[in-house]
């Protein structure tokens, strides 16, 4: 068996085409969706990531507004910039690029974001709505990486109802929200979350129909760990002397049914789901 590669780049390109049509429709109604970004400092990775978001916006016709502050920006300066984005009419939704300087209270600043303009879907209010949603439809923005994973399941016909899903990692951007989303009505997976204190992780992996590896531990999942035919999503990434390595060893391709590689799998989907959140916020904000 050789796994089918889940091509996040190709799916993201399809979704961008869909968004382009939606943007034209919104503009015909007098609505122009806009993404705002707040970048503090000169971190090369952050600058590259933000630049990519603005390129994505240009491709689909979404306006983009970039606010940059120097490394020495104070907490007051950052709070003021967030407040300006909260009230900017041309901004449907925005993100504060992390990490922020160590001298400021990141959680305090992120909570200043208007939940109705939270393009990342990670504001405590929106995460709370996700917790409360249960079996009901949720209209608030959803976290981008988990949304991208579920979209890939849909587009590749990966069955989730009643299937055992193991999420490795309990971070706020992937593990925690994804566990809620995968167990929600309509997805209906049976979800387990493994983390650094979990025991018998190998046994859990071997029983899972769907494995999402978001631990940031290079090649922690080997071919012999995987249930034959399982769908495997490699999300975690680590910088090593050998380059950037995902959590999943390439040998898993010989056992799994589907593999979302890293890079090229979930990453492009995270960016495109951000655009979908902006579109959702533009509609609800109208």
**Catalytic residue numbers, as ranges:** 53, 97, 120
Sign of CA dihedral 280, 6, 8, 163: positive
Pairwise CA distance, residues 54 & 46, whole Å: 13
Distance between the two ends of the chain, CA-based, in angstroms?
50
Cis ω on the peptide bond leading into residue 99 (within 30° of 0)? yes
Closest CA to 190 of 159, 163, 229: 163
- DSSP line for 6-59: --HHHHHHHHHHHHHHHHHHHHHTT---EEEEEEES--HHHHHHHHHHHHHHHH
User: What's the number of CA atoms in the CB half-sphere (13 Å) around residue 86?
Assistant: 13
Tokens read off for 174: 């992937």
Closest CA to 33 of 273, 281, 269, 270: 281
Pairwise CA distance, residues 9 & 7, whole Å: 5
Q: Find where tokens 């989303």 sit.
A: 181
């Amino acid at each position: 068996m050789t796994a089918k590669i889940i091509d996040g780049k190709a799916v993201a390109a399809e979704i961008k085409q869909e968004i382009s049509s939606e943007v034209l429709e919104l503009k015909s109604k007098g609505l122009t969706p806009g993404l705002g970004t707040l970048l503090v400092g000169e971190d090369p990775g952050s600058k590259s990531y933000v630049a990519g978001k603005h390129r994505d916006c240009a491709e689909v016709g979404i306006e983009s507004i970039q606010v940059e502050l120097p490394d020495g920006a104070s907490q007051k300066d950052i709070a003021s910039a967030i407040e300006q984005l909260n009230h900017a009419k041309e901004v449907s939704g925005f993100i504060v690029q992390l990490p922020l300087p160590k001298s400021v209270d990141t959680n305090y600043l992120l909570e200043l974001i208007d939940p109705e303009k939270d393009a990342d879907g990670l504001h405590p209010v929106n995460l709370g709505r996700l917790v409360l949603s249960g079996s009901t439809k949720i209209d608030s923005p959803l976290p981008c990486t988990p949304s991208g994973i579920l979209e890939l399941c849909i587009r590749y016909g990966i069955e989730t109802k009643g299937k055992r899903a193991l999420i490795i990692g309990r971070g706020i951007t992937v593990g925690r929200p994804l566990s809620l989303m995968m167990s929600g009505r309509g997805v209906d997976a049976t979800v387990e979350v493994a983390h650094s204190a979990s025991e018998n992780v190998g046994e859990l992996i071997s029983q899972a129909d769907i494995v999402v590896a978001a631990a940031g531990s290079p090649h922690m999942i080997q071919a012999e760990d995987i249930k034959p035919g399982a769908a495997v999503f490699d999300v975690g990434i680590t910088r090593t002397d050998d380059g950037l390595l995902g959590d999943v060893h390439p040998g898993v391709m010989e056992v799994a049914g589907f593999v979302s590689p890293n890079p090229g799998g979930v990453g492009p989907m995270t960016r495109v789901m951000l655009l979908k959140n902006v579109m959702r916020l533009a509609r609800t904000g109208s």
